[in-house]
Structure 1
Amino acid sequence: MSESDCSKLHIAMFPWVAYGHFIPFLHLSNKLAEKGHKISFILPEGVQPKLAKMNQFPNLIQFIPLVIPQVDGLPPGAETTHVVPLNQQKYLAFAVDQTRDQVEDILKLLKPDMVFYDFWFWIPRLARQLGISPVIYLVASSVFLGMWLNPKKLTEETTVEEAIELPPGYPSSTVRFKAEEAPELLFYAEDFGSGLSLQERIRVGLIESDAIAFRSCREIEGPFLDYVAQGFGKPVLLSGPCLTETKTPQLDEKWDKWLSQFEPGSVVFCSFGSQIVLRKDVFQELVLGFESCGLPFLVALKPPQGCLTIEEALPEGFQERVKGRGLVYGGWVPQELLLHHPNIGCFVNHCGYGTMWEFLLSDCQILLIPEIADQILNTRLMVDELRIGVEVKRGKNRQVSKESLSEAIKLVMNKENETANMLRANRAKLKQTLSGRDVHEEHINNFIQALKDLVQK
C-alpha cells in the first residue's frame, strides 16, 4: 500500500461477545475515528442499540450485525455473556465460531486494511487469505500474558505447583499467583468451545497475529510489554488508556446530592463491575465491613446469588443502622464520574482492566479485592510493583472478612499513616504522568503510525 493510500485506515473490529470487550474496542474505535479512520464494528445484531449512544463518530464507525446461531446448551436468543452464566459460555463461543462464513462474507465485502480480534483463533488465517492484516487487541494486561509464555500447557491435570510456576525470564517475582489461587488460573485450561481451552484460543490468536496490541502504556507495564514482545517475536503496539471523554461530564443530581452531605475525600465507594455476582454470605460480610469502618459509603453491587433485589440480601437491621451514612445500590452507577467526585476518598474494586485505567486517573485511595485470574495479576501489579494500592487480606477459603475489609479501609483513609501517605503520593505522581491530552494524543498518534507501518510491509 502506498503512503497516500494508507493516509486513512479502514479497520474491522471483532471482539469477544461481552460488554467488557465491546466497550474498550469501541473506546479505541472512537479514538481512531477522531483521527479520520474508518471502523467496521462486527457485533451481534441485538447489541447495536445498546452501544449506539457510545459511538461518537457514526459517520465513520459502522456497526455490522452478526447473526448468532442457536446451538445446544445455549439459552434461546443469547448473544452475549450478559445473559449466559460463566459455565455455559463455551456454548456461546462455539456459536460464534459457527459464524465464520458470515464473517468471511463481511470481510470480503468491506475489504478493510486490518482486523482487530481477541478470542477468535480462526480470524488470523481467514484474514490473511483475504489480504487483511490480523492484529490481536487484548483488553487484559501484559502481566497476564505470562501464562501463555509458560512452556507448560495448562490442562485439567496440571498441578498447583505447575500452574503457578513463573516462566523463564518473567520480569517480576511478586506479580504472580499464590497456591490457593491456582483454581482461578486453571479455568483457562477448561473447554471453551470447539474443543479448545481459552488458553489455546488466545495462544493461537497471539502466535498467528501480525502484531499484539494493548490498551496500555510503558509507564504502567513496560518490562512486561518487552517480555511479551520478545516471547512472541511480534511488534507490541500501545494505544494508551483510550478512555473516551464523556458527553455528560456532570454527575446526576441524585448522586451529587447524596455525596454532598459528606466531607471532601471521606466517602468509600465500592463497585465490582457488571459481571461479578457474589454469594449471599460473601455479600453480607462485605457490607458489614463497610458498616464497621465508620465512614460514609456507597456500595454498587449486583444482587447476590438467589436474590432478586439488594434489599432482601442485606443483613437484618443493616439499613436502619447505616441510615444517612451508607447506601447499597443494586443498579448501574456512573463509576468513572463518581471516581472524580471530590467527596469520594477510597475506591474498593476488583481490579478489572477497564476499571484499573479509570482509578489510575482518579484521586482516590485504592483497595483491591480481585476475583478472577487476570484481576489477581492486575492487583499484584498495582500493589507490589507500582505501590499505589492495598490488596484486602483473605482468610480461610479465600474469604474476605468484615474485619479485614474494615481495617484496610481505616488504614488507607488515615491521613497520618505513613503507608497511606506513600500510596497517595505514588498514585498522584503516576496520575500526573498519565494525565493530559498531550500524553493521550502522543499514544494514539504513535499507535496509528505503527498500524500504518504494519499495513505497508
Structure 2
Amino acid sequence: MESKFHAFMFPWFGYGHMTAFLHLANKLAEKGHKITFLLPKKAKKQLEPLNLFPNCIFFHTITIPSVDGLPVGAETTSDIPISSGSFLASAMDRTRNQVEEAVSKGKPDLIFFDFAHWIPEIAREYGAKSVNFVTISAACVAISFVPGRSPDDLAVPPHGYPSSKVLLRGQETKCLSFLSYPFGDGTTFYERIMIGLKNCDVISIRTCKEMEGKFCDYIESQFQRKVLLTGPMLPEPDNSKPLEDKWRHWLSQFEPGSVIYCALGSQIILEKDQFQELCLGMEMSGLPFLVAVKPPKGSLKIQEALPKGFEERVKGRGVVWGGWVQQPLILAHPSIGCFVSHCGFGSMWEALVNDCQIVFIPHLGEQIFNTRLMSEELEVSVEVKREETGWFSKESLCGAVRSVMDNDSELGNLVRRNHAKWKESLVSSRLMNGYVSKFIEALQKLV
C-alpha cells in the first residue's frame, strides 16, 4: 500500500500564489495525502470554496503582525499597491514563530514554500523535507536566478542559457530592476528567492517538459537539485457556479468567436493616458469587447477615466469594467474569440487551454519571459509592440488583435494551428494525471 504523507504549504500572500498552491493541494489530497495550508485569516474566506477536499486539506490561519508602512488590516497583495510588497514580506518573515510552532505540533513530512526563504531551516530542524514550489515559468527562473550571477548581469544571458528567443531586450531590463529592491527585513527580492532555491531539498515547478523541458534541465544543472514538475496544475472547471447572468446575457448577443476579452491581472494599474489608449485600441478594432481592469492611477472609478465620448461611441458593443469577473468562465464562453492579457503565469495557462486567440501586453519581468516563450518559442500568441519607453499605442494594440482575428492573416493562422495543438495535449487528462502521479511518487521517495 502507498504510504500517505502530511505536507504543510506556506505560499506568498498573493492570490496567484495561494491559488496555485491550493490547486496542487487538491491534486495531492485526491490521492489521500493530508495538507495543512498556512494562510492569512482574510485569505481563508476566499480560498475555502476552492478546497475540493476539506477532509484532507486543513486551513491553519496565521495572524499577520503590524509593520510600519503596511496599511492597518493589510494581509495580502490585493490589499496593497505593488510598491508596498516589501512591507508585506517583512510581515511574512515575522510570522516565523507561528509557522515554527505549527510545524512542531503538526510534524509534517514535507513543507512547500516559495517566498519564505527560511522554511528550509525550520524543515531541517523538525525532520521534514522542504519543497520550493515555483509558480512562475522555468524560462524566467533560468535567466533570472543563476548561482554566481547578480541581478546586474541580466542584460546578458547566462552561459548555457537554452534559448535565444526568451530574452529581455534593451529597455526591458529595467522591468527586472525590482530584483535588487529590498524585500522584507535585510534582504532583496533576488536574495530571498536565491536562498530558497539553494537551501531547499527539492525544486518543483508548475510546468511540463513538453513546453519547458530544456529550461528545467538547465535549472537542475545550475542548482544541483532535483527539479520535479507538477504539470500545468490547471484548476478543475467549477460547474457549481455558472457565469453571472449579466455577462452571460451580454456575451450571448454576439457571434461565436467574435468578442475580445481583456484583463491585466490584479496587480497592474495603468497610468490614465495608457488606460485611455487601451480603450481606444479596443474601439478601433471594430469588434465587440469586454475590458476588466482596475481603475487607472488617480481614478476611483473606471467611468471617470474613460476617453471623452467613448461610452456613447461603443454603446452596445463595448464594456469597460473595474471589478472582479469570473475569468475562466468568461474565457470558456463561445462568444470569446481573443484574450488580451498581461501574461501572468496563471493567465498564460488559462489562455492555452481555451480556444480563443491570444494577445499579450506584458508589464513585469516575469510576464515578458512568459510572453516570449508563448510568442516566439511556441508561436501560439502575438505580443503588442511597444515603444522604447514601454508605451503601447492604440494602433499597435488594434494591429495585434486584428492580426490574430483576421481569418486571412498568415500569422493568425499560424498561431491558431499551434495553439490548437498545444491545447489538445494540455487538456488531455492523461498528460495531467501522468504528471501528478510521477510527482507524488517522487515525493514519497523523498520522505
Shorter-chain TM-score: what band?
over 0.9
Q: Which runs of 4+ in 1 moved over 4 A?
A: none
Matched, 1:139 2:135: yes
Would the alpha carbon gap of residues 185 and 374 (structure 1) be closer, same or farther in structure 2, given more than 3 Å must change? same
How far residue 68 of structure 1 moved from its aligned partner, in angstroms, is: 1.3
Q: Which residue identity does 1:426 align to in structure 2?
A: N
Aligned positions, number: 445
CA distance in 1, matches of 2:367, 2:17: 15
Query: Which position in structure 2 is the counterpart of 1:290?
Result: 282
Q: Which residue identity does 2:376 align to in structure 1?
A: D
Q: Which digits, 9 at most, give the CA deviation of each residue in 1:268-302, with x for residues without a partner?
A: 11011111111111100000000011111111111
Alignment of 1:208-287 (within 5 A): 208-245=199-236, 246-248=238-240, 250-287=242-279
1:440 to 418, 422, 432: 432
Contact 2:81–2:267 (CA<8 Å) still a contact in 1? no
Q: Which digits, 9 at most, give the CA deviation of each residue in 1:33-72, with x for residues without a partner?
A: 1111110000112221121111111111111111111122
Matched, 1:360 2:352: yes
Q: Which residue identity does 2:220 align to in structure 1?
A: A
Q: Which residue identity does 2:354 align to in structure 1?
A: S
Q: Which residue identity does 2:382 align to in structure 1?
A: V
CA distance in 1, matches of 2:69, 2:244: 41
Q: Which residue identity does 1:422 align to in structure 2?
A: L
1:61 to 43, 47, 57: 57
1:302 to 268, 288, 294: 294
2:323 to 320, 327, 331: 331
Query: Which position in structure 2 is the counterpart of 1:386?
Result: 378
2:401 to 405, 409, 413: 409
Q: TM-score, normalised by structure 2?
A: 0.97
Higher alpha-carbon deviation: 236-245 or 369-378: 236-245
Alignment of 1:151-162 (within 5 A): 151-154=148-151, 158=152, 162=153
How far residue 236 of structure 1 moved from its aligned partner, in angstroms, is: 0.9
How far residue 169 of structure 1 moved from its aligned partner, in angstroms, is: 0.4
1:179 to 162, 167, 170: 170
CA distance in 2, matches of 1:96, 1:325: 44
How far residue 260 of structure 1 moved from its aligned partner, in angstroms, is: 1.4
Query: Which position in structure 2 is the counterpart of 1:168?
Result: 159
SS of 2:382 mapped into structure 1: strand
Q: Which residue identity does 1:194 align to in structure 2?
A: D
Contact 2:379–2:418 (CA<8 Å) still a contact in 1? yes
SS of 1:412 mapped into structure 2: helix
1:79 to 68, 75, 81: 75
Contact 2:131–2:202 (CA<8 Å) still a contact in 1? yes
Q: Which residue identity does 1:20 align to in structure 2?
A: G
Matched, 1:22 2:13: no
Contact 1:147–1:167 (CA<8 Å) still a contact in 2? no
CA distance in 2, matches of 1:174, 1:438: 30
Q: Which residue identity does 1:197 align to in structure 2?
A: T
Q: Which residue identity does 2:173 align to in structure 1?
A: A
What root-mean-square deviation, in Å, do the aligned CA atoms of Structure 1 and Structure 2 show?
A: 1.2
SS of 2:42 mapped into structure 1: coil
Q: Which digits, 9 at most, give the CA deviation of each residue in 1:380-402, with x for residues without a partner?
A: 00011000001000024110100
Q: Which residue identity does 2:146 align to in structure 1?
A: L
CA distance in 2, matches of 1:199, 1:443: 29
How far residue 247 of structure 1 moved from its aligned partner, in angstroms, is: 3.5
Query: Which position in structure 2 is the counterpart of 1:35?
Result: 31
Q: Which residue identity does 2:321 align to in structure 1?
A: Y
Q: Which residue identity does 1:251 align to in structure 2?
A: L
Would the alpha carbon gap of residues 396 and 175 (structure 1) be closer, same or farther in structure 2, given more than 3 Å must change? closer
Matched, 1:317 2:314: no
Contact 1:31–1:244 (CA<8 Å) still a contact in 2? no
Matched, 1:195 2:189: no
Higher alpha-carbon deviation: 241-250 or 425-434: 241-250
Could you tell me which runs of 5 or more consecutive residues in structure 1 were left unpaired when the two chains were aligned. none
Contact 2:285–2:402 (CA<8 Å) still a contact in 1? yes
Q: Percent of aligned pairs with the same residue?
A: 51
Query: Which position in structure 1 is the counterpart of 2:46?
Result: 50
How far residue 253 of structure 1 moved from its aligned partner, in angstroms, is: 2.4
Matched, 1:427 2:429: no
Matched, 1:351 2:348: no
Contact 2:123–2:130 (CA<8 Å) still a contact in 1? yes
How far residue 152 of structure 1 moved from its aligned partner, in angstroms, is: 2.6
How far residue 448 of structure 1 moved from its aligned partner, in angstroms, is: 0.5
SS of 2:168 mapped into structure 1: coil
How far residue 436 of structure 1 moved from its aligned partner, in angstroms, is: 2.0
CA distance in 1, matches of 2:355, 2:45: 33
Could you tell me which runs of 5 or more consecutive residues in structure 2 were left unpaired when the two chains were aligned. none
How far residue 445 of structure 1 moved from its aligned partner, in angstroms, is: 0.8
Q: Which residue identity does 1:61 align to in structure 2?
A: I
Matched, 1:108 2:104: yes
CA distance in 2, matches of 1:362, 1:34: 25
Matched, 1:395 2:392: no
SS of 2:111 mapped into structure 1: strand
CA distance in 1, matches of 2:248, 2:423: 24
SS of 1:400 mapped into structure 2: coil
